[in-house]
């Protein structure tokens, strides 16, 4: 398959980046473009904004219409068809099973992975009144909220960052939860009421990290991207995504996981929560950095043996 880079017909090569159209996604694509041009100023880097199925259908709960993969499918199609050379993703949106011929070849240094509580009306979660409503489309966030605060109502709320903030401001819900990193990237950090501590809510797999997807074997394109890769983040996400693959595949379940590199070892914290928030399993495991994949698999096996199978069955039944 010829790529857009090699058929550009220009003296200096052109790279085309596939990206979603949201403000956050465009910021991430422009950030990658900036990083490329800082090192290779002689080339041209263009953006190809694409509206994905997840962006088009904002009425139904995400888990009911196909999960997070709906935010990357059209971008991946543009790669396979040679319309783009690379696609830029929020790694929390990337499924573990990729289309044949594609790979996540670069993962940038991770930003803040935590979740942000946004509630100008009542302030902190501790002050949030019984019966008030939180808006979120995340099964993970929903489950954690119900586990810690079963007295709170949770309503499915779809849309990009700015859309959900406008729905909050319009009074549709009393609070929302968004990724800290996303808010920081588009200069909306001032909207954060408080950052939710990890002991209360572990982040989504890959949250806070930007990934670049390319065609396998496209070393020409990769040569312009390798300097963006962060080996530490890449290794940590290897453990997290291994955990995700063993438990979820490409479906959605209330799973959280976060891995940190302590120089000589990786520490992976994981949590699997009942979709109704009635029970939660937590596990922490460590391994040498070179054993990142087996660390994720080991953690998944432990969760499954200690109540995870029952939680998965309940979650999958609830989504039917």
Residues 6+ apart with CB under 8 A from 136: 142, 145, 154, 155, 156, 157, 176, 177
Of 81, 176, 188, residue with least CA distance to 137: 176
Catalytic residue (one of 93, 115, 174, 218): 93
C-alpha 113/C-alpha 180 separation (Å) is: 7
Cβ atoms of residues 297 and 270 within 8 Å: no
Cβ atoms of residues 46 and 14 within 8 Å: yes
Q: Which helix (H) or strand (E) holds 148?
A: helix 139-148
Q: Which helix (H) or strand (E) holds 62?
A: none
C-alpha 221/C-alpha 4 separation (Å) is: 10
Task: Say whether 93 is catalytic.
Answer: yes
CB atoms within 10 A of CB 159: 16
The two beta strands, 44-50 and 86-90, are: unpaired
CB atoms within 10 A of CB 203: 24
Cβ atoms of residues 48 and 78 within 8 Å: yes
C-alpha 58/C-alpha 65 separation (Å) is: 10
Q: What is the set of active-site residues?
A: 93
């Amino acid at each position: 398959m010829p790529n857009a880079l090699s058929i550009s017909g220009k003296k200096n090569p052109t790279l085309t980046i596939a990206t979603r159209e949201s403000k956050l996604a465009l910021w991430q694509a422009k950030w990658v473009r900036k990083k490329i041009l800082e090192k290779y100023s002689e080339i041209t880097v263009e953006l190809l904004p694409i509206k994905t199925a997840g962006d088009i259908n904002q009425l139904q709960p995400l888990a009911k219409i196909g999960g997070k993969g709906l935010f990357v499918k059209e971008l991946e199609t543009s790669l396979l068809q040679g319309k783009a050379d690379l696609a830029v993703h929020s790694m929390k949106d990337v499924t573990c099973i990729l289309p044949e011929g594609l790979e996540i070849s670069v993962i940038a240094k991770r930003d803040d992975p935590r979740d942000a509580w946004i509630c100008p009306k009542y302030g902190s979660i501790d002050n949030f009144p019984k019966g008030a409503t939180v808006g979120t489309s995340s099964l993970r966030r929903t489950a954690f909220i119900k586990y810690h605060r079963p007295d709170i109502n949770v309503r499915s709320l779809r849309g990009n960052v700015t859309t959900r903030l406008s729905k909050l401001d319009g009074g549709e819900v009393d609070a929302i939860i968004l990724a800290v990193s996303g808010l920081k990237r588009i200069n909306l950090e001032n909207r954060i009421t408080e950052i939710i501590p990890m002991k209360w809510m572990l982040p989504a797999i890959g949250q806070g990290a930007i990934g670049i997807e390319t065609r396998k074997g496209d070393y020409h394109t990769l040569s312009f991207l390798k300097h963006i890769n962060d080996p530490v983040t890449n290794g940590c996400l290897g453990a997290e995504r291994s955990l995700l693959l063993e438990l979820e595949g490409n479906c959605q379940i209330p799973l959280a996981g976060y891995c940190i590199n302590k120089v000589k070892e990786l520490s992976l914290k994981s949590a699997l929560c009942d979709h109704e928030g009635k029970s939660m399993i937590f596990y922490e495991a460590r391994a040498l950095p070179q054993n990142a994949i087996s660390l994720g698999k080991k953690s998944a096996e432990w969760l499954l043996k200690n109540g995870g199978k029952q939680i998965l069955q309940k979650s999958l039944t609830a989504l039917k």
